[in-house]
Every structure is written in structure tokens, then in C-alpha cells.
Amino acid sequence: MIATEDLNQVLSLAPIAMNPKAGKWRTEAMRSHSTPRLLFVAKGQGRITIAGLTRGFGPNNVIFIPAKTMYGYTLGPTVFGQMLTIPAAMAPEWPDEPAHLRLRDVAVQKDFASLLDGLESELSTNTDASRRAAHYQLGLVSVFLERQLDAHSDLQQDDRLHTSAARVVAAYTDLVERDFRSKIGVADYAAALGVTPTHLTRCCNVTCGRSALELLTDRKHFEACSLLRDTKQPVNQIASSLGFSSAAYFSRAFQSKAGRSPSQFRKFGGQSKP
């Protein structure tokens, strides 16, 4: 059987839109991937948190998320966009840091839309030639992003990136992404960063409006949801793999966020309780 993360490394372009029936965890819960993602918002507004820093987005926004970087986003009711999965083999052609572009020029907007349309067209044709063409088209998308970042570097800066709070939270999310499957708690992460748990939580609240504990439990929750939906692992094994001391404790924590027990969540195909 192909693992879920292996499937997520395949070049793909998927639509995104608000879907109340799908469950908020599919977009809002913190997650990461082993390969980069590019999010394009064609219309609507929302908010995205990347590496613990939250910012708003609107129409014609292009957001790049590097591999192994924690993120989650909320969508307004009118949002429509696309999520591009970038395969590992092409990751070196993309930036090392998150990027957020607002395409203000109409001609530039049309150029980018044309690139995505061409990529989508090649991906919809299942031949060796079309798959090769899709990868070439992806290369053009990476060149577009690089040129836009170079041309508008003065407009892409977020002053909050350079604050001590943002640096602490970015380092914290890196550690969480590395160790969230363990039994390590917020106090341990704070000690590793050389700060107090109170200071760490204060920094998290400043940069993204969530506590350090919320970010950690949110990351574990997304992983639990994915495993329950996409695998047949027993609940007790999932609990153990995520650092919970017992299946009972895991079930209580999961139900408090999802509104359903792990077994019920799996039965309903990954749907949280409305």
C-alpha cells in the first residue's frame, strides 16, 4: 500500500474552497508536508498561519509553504483557490523560506493564471508526454515566483518576521514539527529554546493568537485525523505513535476537539461532528 505522505509528494493541483461538511481540521489544523506547497487564492479572503505567524490573504494572493513547515488556514465563504503539490525532486528550485505575494498587476495575474491553466491541462491528460510537460510547466511556475519575489521584495516584507516573538515561535514550530510524536510537552520545548513556558505562550499569542499548547495539540490532532481517515491502524497504536500515555487519554483529547470519538470519526469517513 502507498503511504498517504507518498501520495502527497506527487505533482498535483487541487481546488480549495470552504466546505463546512468536510471538517475544519482539513484546513485549519496545523500540519506540514515532506514536500513544498503553493497556495493560490483566486477570490475571497481568509487567514493563514505559517511557522506560527498569522496573516490575512485575499484575491490574487500566492503563498509558498516550504517542506516540513507547519501551517493551517481558515477560509471565508467565498474563497476559491488551488493548492499545488511540488514533488521532492523539484523542491530545490523553490525558495527555502515562506513567501506571500499579492499580485496587484492585472497582466501579472493573467500570466500566472495562464501558467496554472497550462499545468492543469497537462495533469488532466494521463500520458508520459503530458506528465513530462507538467513538470516543465511547474518549472515555469517556480521561475514566475522567483521573478516576482525579486521584483517586489520591498513589498513582501512583514515587519513582524523580525521581532523576537516571531523568531521564538518559528523555532518552536520547527521543534514541534520534529518532535510532536513524542511525549515532549510545552515546558520541555520552552527549556530547549531557553525561555519560560509563560514567555513562549505569550509569544505564540502575539504572532498567531494561539497558545503554545494549542499549536502542539493542533498538530497532533491533524496527524490523528489523517491516520484515522487514511489508515487502518488500531486506535491504541495511533495513540502510542503520537505520544499519548494511554488510548483512553487520547480518545478523550480527540473527542474534545472533533466532537466524536476516534472510532466514530473513522466510521464517518473523517468527519468531525457538526
Task: Tell me yes or no: is domain 160-267 CATH 1.10.10.60.
Answer: yes
Fold of 4-151: Jelly Rolls (2.60.120)
Residue 154's pLDDT band (boundaries 50, 70, 90)? low
Domain ranges of the chain: 4-151, 160-267
Look up residue 146 and give its DSSP letter.
H
Predicted pLDDT at 258: 92
For 187-230, how does the pLDDT look when each residue is reduced to its tens digit (9 = 90+)? 999 999 999 999 999 999 999 999 999 999 999 999 999 999 99
CB 39 within 8 A of CB 103: no
Look up residue 50 and give its DSSP letter.
E
Residue with cell string 493548492: 83
Does pTM top 0.85 for this prediction? yes
Inter-axis angle of helices 186-193 and 164-179, to 10 degrees?
120
Closest by Cα among 58, 55, 56, 28 to 42: 58
Tell me the C-alpha distance between 113 and 127, whole Å: 23
In the predicted model, is pLDDT for residue 8 greater than 60? Answer: no
Residues 6+ apart with CB under 8 A from 245: 183
The rounded mean pLDDT for the chain is: 92
For 18-69, how does the pLDDT look when each residue is reduced to its tens digit (9 = 90+)? 877 778 899 999 999 999 999 999 999 999 999 999 999 999 999 999 999 9
| 16-20, 162-166, 269-273: which is most confident | 162-166
Largest Cα–Cα separation, the chain: 56
